[in-house]
Amino acid sequence: MMLNMGPQHPSTHGVFRLVLWLEGERIVRAEPHIGYLHRGSEKLCEREDYTQIITLFDRLDYVANLNCELAFCMAAEKLMALEVPERAWYIRTILCELNRIASHMLFYGVYGLDVGAMTPVLYGFRERERVILLFEAVTGARMMHNYIRVGGVKEDLPDDFGKRMTVLIDELKRGIDECDALLTNSELFLERTKGVGTIDGPTAVDYGVTGPMLRAAGVKEDVRISEPYGIYDRFDFGIPVGTHGDCWDRYYVRVEEMRQSLSIIEQAMSQMEAGPITAKVRRIARPPRGEAYLRTESPRGDFGVFLVSDGGDKPYRVKVRAPSFANLQSITHLLRDAYIADAVVILGSTDIILGEVDR
Partner 1 sequence: MTALEVLYYALGAVGLLVFLSMTVMALTWLERKTLARIQQRMGPMRVGPHGTLQPIADVLKLMSKEDITPSSADKRLFWLAPVAFFLPALLLWVTIPLSRDLVLRNMDMGLFYIVAISVLSVAGLALAGWSSANKYALLGGLRAVGALISYEIPFILAVLGVGMLAQSLDLTQVVDGQQNFAYILIQPLGLFIFLAAGLAELGRTPFDIHHAESEVVGGPFVEYSGAHWAVFMLAEYVNTFTIAALTVLLFLGGWRWPAMPLDGVGHTILSLAWFLAKTYLVILVIFWIRGTFPRLRIDQLMSFSWKVLVPLSFANILFTGIVLYYDLGRWVLTILSLLSLAAAFYLVFNKYGNLKKRNTVRVYSVRELGLKPAAKPPPPDAPSDGDPPPQGAPGHQPAS
DSSP line for 110-123: HHHHHHT-SSHHHH
Residues 234 and 252 sit within 8 Å (Cβ to Cβ) = no
Considering Cα of 9, then 13, then 16, then 20, what sign does the dihedral take? negative
Instruction: For residue 55, count other CB atoms closer than 10 A to its CB.
Output: 14
Residues 232 and 321 sit within 8 Å (Cβ to Cβ) = no
Q: What SS3 class is residue 19?
A: strand
Minimum Å gap between C-beta 24 and partner 1 is 9
Name which of 71 and 357 has its Cβ closer to partner 1.
71
Minimum Å gap between C-beta 154 and partner 1 is 18
Name which of 166 and 243 has its Cβ closer to partner 1.
243
211 burial via Cβ count (<10 Å: 0-12, 13-18, 19+): buried
Instruction: For residue 236, count other CB atoms closer than 10 A to its CB.
Output: 7
Name which of 59 and 171 has its Cβ closer to partner 1.
171
Name which of 89 and 161 has its Cβ closer to partner 1.
89
Nearest 5°: phi and psi at 54?
-55, -40
Rg (CA), the chain: 20
Minimum Å gap between C-beta 129 and partner 1 is 11
Name which of 62 and 339 has its Cβ closer to partner 1.
339
Minimum Å gap between C-beta 157 and partner 1 is 18
Contacts of 171 (CB under 8 A, 6+ apart): 127, 130
Minimum Å gap between C-beta 40 and partner 1 is 26
Please state at what angle helix 86-115 crosses helix 161-183, rounded to 10 degrees.
30
Please state at what angle helix 120-139 crosses helix 161-183, rounded to 10 degrees.
170
Minimum Å gap between C-beta 144 and partner 1 is 25
Name which of 217 and 325 has its Cβ closer to partner 1.
217
Contacts of 358 (CB under 8 A, 6+ apart): 15, 34, 35, 36, 37, 38, 39
Minimum Å gap between C-beta 299 and partner 1 is 16
Minimum Å gap between C-beta 323 and partner 1 is 19
Name which of 198 and 359 has its Cβ closer to partner 1.
198
Name which of 287 and 323 has its Cβ closer to partner 1.
287
